[in-house]
Structure formats: structure tokens, C-alpha cells
Structure 1
Amino acid sequence: MKFRLNNKLVLASSSPRRFELLSQLGVPFNTDKSEVPETTVSEMQPTEFVQRLALEKAEDVYSRNVDSLIIGADTIVTFEGQILHKPKNAEQAKDYLKRLSGQTHQVHTGVAFKSSQLTETIVSTTYVTFKEIPEQLMDAYIESGDPFDKAGGYGIQTLGGLFVESIEGDYNTVVGLPLASVFTYLYDKGLIQITKGGGEDPA
């Protein structure tokens, strides 16, 4: 099964994880990293915040690619109503892991779609439950350097997956791009089509 896009596509991210996920659709796209800073807006709900930030990223990249459809995304981890951003140092990373150990937290990924004809956002939420994490394992994981570029201080697709007891929702939401939701949006809007003849574009 192959697909064809009706627009030029740009992913507003330099994340290798999002690049790999979007590549699974098998359609051509470019990447253009947004320069929008990731900041917390305390008066907004996490799902509203993550959608707004995804849209700001998409709009920033759209300003340089006005002939394209832009996909922007942002992922946050929340626990007990607080957003856990990418840890700034080892102490904060360990604080995050201690708080999440043996508990259930939420991962929200907002996705924005921006072109000359549309401006829309969606959000996907997944619940992740951690096992009790031995302190020695926390220290070794932090020493590996893996937590520092990831929301909540762990990567489910890397060694951080060792902490996971269960998930409820879309695994790819935790990785950084809910691919099924992205595809459904594009398909429902008529922006992506299944090609005919076993993958050959129609004449």
C-alpha cells in the first residue's frame, strides 16, 4: 500500500524520531526546524499549550515555505498537573524519574497543520505507567545522557523503555508523532490518497 500527497510537505522539526515516523508513510517531505522557543504558559491547560506550541512551530516554518503543507508537533509529559519539560541537568532528570517511578503520567503530543488553505491542530494523549525504578538504574540512565533531549527525561524508544510497565493509548504519541492520527487527518481532508495499480500513481 502506497500513498500520494496533494501538497508539498514540510515537517517543522529536526527530531530524528519524528522524521522516522513520518517516513513510514512513504511520501516525500522536507524538514525545516522551527526556531520557536519551548516555554511554559501556566494559565493554559497542557493540551491547549501543546497544540498552541505546535501551531507556532508550524506557522514559523510556513513563513519560509508558503507553497507547502507544514506539520508542526510538540510533545510534553505531565504528572499531577505539572508539565515536565526536557531536564536541564542531572539533578532535574533524577527528580523527574523519582516522581514518575511506580506512577502513571500523561504524554500529550499536539500536531498542527498549516497551509495557505488551512490552520488546524489536533492532540493525542497517552497514559504511561512506570515500574518502580531502582536508584542505581536511574543513575546509570542519567549518566548515559539519554534524558536531556526528551520531555519528561526519558525516551520510550530508547533505554527509557525499560521503565515502562504499561501504556494506554498510541505508543507513537510518546515517541513524538501520533502517526495514525496524522494520517487520519490527512486522509479525511483529502490531502493524501491511496495510489492505484499497486502503488503506481495514476496517469
Structure 2
Amino acid sequence: MRFVLASASPARLAVLRAAGIEPSVIVSGVDEDAIIAGLTGAAPEQVTTALALAKAEAVVETAAGTGSAAVVVGCDSMLFIGGELVGKPGTAEVARKRWAAMAGRTGELITGHAVLRLDGAGGRVTATGSESTTVRFAEPSQQELDAYLGTGEPFQVAGGFTLDGLGGWFVQGIDGDPSSVIGISLPLTRRLLAEVGLTVVDFWPSRDG
């Protein structure tokens, strides 16, 4: 059975590889803004889970194209802070404003997950869920923030920071699952795989190669 990651995120790929899974990567290309626009009034967990499911469903046809069994995993992360749910800043200007609001405060990094098991004959079983982790942000100096924005790293990551990259210097601590902050919760993914009748060890490399 193939393990398909419906994400272009190198961080999610790195987490899975470090945990013994070598997935096939199929980028979904969904219009996240359009999906969010249709979820007015939804709870943050509902928004991230809906995005994760949309990503997974967008690659089902490609994943099932070989006629072989597969499991497709989609994820989406956003930061809930100050009563607002925010995603990727996109630009230096937006990232600077985000950090002005985040510095010295706490936020909830919420990652939605969707696991779709495909039997190779058109059948599908789906499990979804989300993981929330409290992130305590440090207060970078103006020099540090200018340098961080200059790297471009925060523009295309949820909330404008990373835990496993340069942004990790400016995270005071977390309460919860670190893998979820990076982009894919290993404990939650394990539970969702179990809901569709699979165990994570099914995807580990065998000892005999």
C-alpha cells in the first residue's frame, strides 16, 4: 500500500521520513482562500480540518490512478492568536505585522488532518481530526526580526514562523505536540490510520530491505 502525502511542505515530508515513512508526494494545489471564504463562522479546528480534507480529496484521482491500494494524508496548519485565525503571511509586510502581534504572546497552532484509505477498486474510508498546540513566542529584537524577514522563511509557513527552522530561535516554548507545529502530528496521524484499519508500522521499511 502506498502512503501519499498531499502536500508540498518539505517540513511535513521531513517529519514522516524521520519517523520511518517514505511517502509519495502529490501536491494538491487547492484554492485555500476560496475554501476559507466558504467557512464563515466555522471554528478554527473545522477550518483547518476542511482544508486538510480538501487537499487529500484533490489528489485521490491521481493516487488511485494505478489501481493499487493507497492511503492519502492531507494536512493544513493555521495559527489562532488574538481571536484571529491566520495562515501564511505571503509578504514581508504582513509577516512583520504578524510578529508585532505575536511577540511575547501565546497562540494556538492548529493542524487539521485527513486520512483517506483507498482500496484500489473505488472504495474509500475517511478519518479526520485536528491537533492544537500552544506556542509561546519570544520577543525578537528589531535587528533579529529584520534579519529573519530577510531570509524569506516566514512568508510561506503558517503563522509566519517555524519550530524546526530559523524561527525556532524565537519560540520560547510549546505545550503539546511538536510534530503538529512542524506540520503533521505523528500521534494524531497514527490514531487516524487506526480508524481506517491501518497501523503506522505497515509503512515502516522492512529489516530485510
Give me the TM-score of the superposition, normalised by structure 2: 0.85
Moved runs in structure 1, 4+ residues, more than 4 A? none
* Equivalent residue in structure 2 for 1:175, among 182, 192, 207: 182
Match of 2:31 in 1: 37
Report matched runs for 1:2-151 at 5 Å: 7-39=1-33, 40=36, 41-66=39-64, 67-115=69-117, 116-151=123-158
Task: Deviation per CA, 1:45-93: give whole Å up to 9, x if none.
Answer: 1100000010011001112222421100101111122122211321111
Task: Deviation per CA, 1:149-201: give whole Å up to 9, x if none.
Answer: 11111111111111111100001111000012212332464312647xxx558
Amino acid across the alignment from 1:81: G
TM-aligned CA distance change 1:8 to 1:88, over 3 Å = closer
CA distance in 1, matches of 2:161, 2:62: 32
* 8 Å Cα contact 2:8-2:26 kept in structure 1: yes
CA distance in 1, matches of 2:53, 2:200: 24
Aligned-residue RMSD, C-alpha: 2.0
Question: What is the percent sequence identity of the aligned residues?
Answer: 33
- Match of 1:184, SS state, is helix
CA distance in 2, matches of 1:112, 1:183: 12
CA distance in 2, matches of 1:138, 1:200: 46
Amino acid across the alignment from 2:54: E
Task: Deviation per CA, 1:73-123: give whole Å up to 9, x if none.
Answer: 101111122122211321111000110000000100111011333122110
CA distance in 1, matches of 2:156, 2:114: 21
TM-aligned CA distance change 1:200 to 1:88, over 3 Å = closer
Amino acid across the alignment from 2:56: A
CA distance in 1, matches of 2:70, 2:27: 15
Mind listing any 5+ residue stretches in structure 1 that lack a counterpart?
1-6
CA distance in 2, matches of 1:134, 1:89: 20
- Match of 2:88, SS state, is coil
* 8 Å Cα contact 1:147-1:154 kept in structure 2: yes
Give me the TM-score of the superposition, normalised by structure 1: 0.87
Task: Deviation per CA, 1:102-148: give whole Å up to 9, x if none.
Answer: 00001001110113331221100000011222122111110111111
Higher helix share: 2
CA distance in 1, matches of 2:4, 2:92: 34
Instruction: Give the total of aligned pairs.
Output: 193
- Match of 1:95, SS state, is helix
TM-aligned CA distance change 1:57 to 1:194, over 3 Å = closer
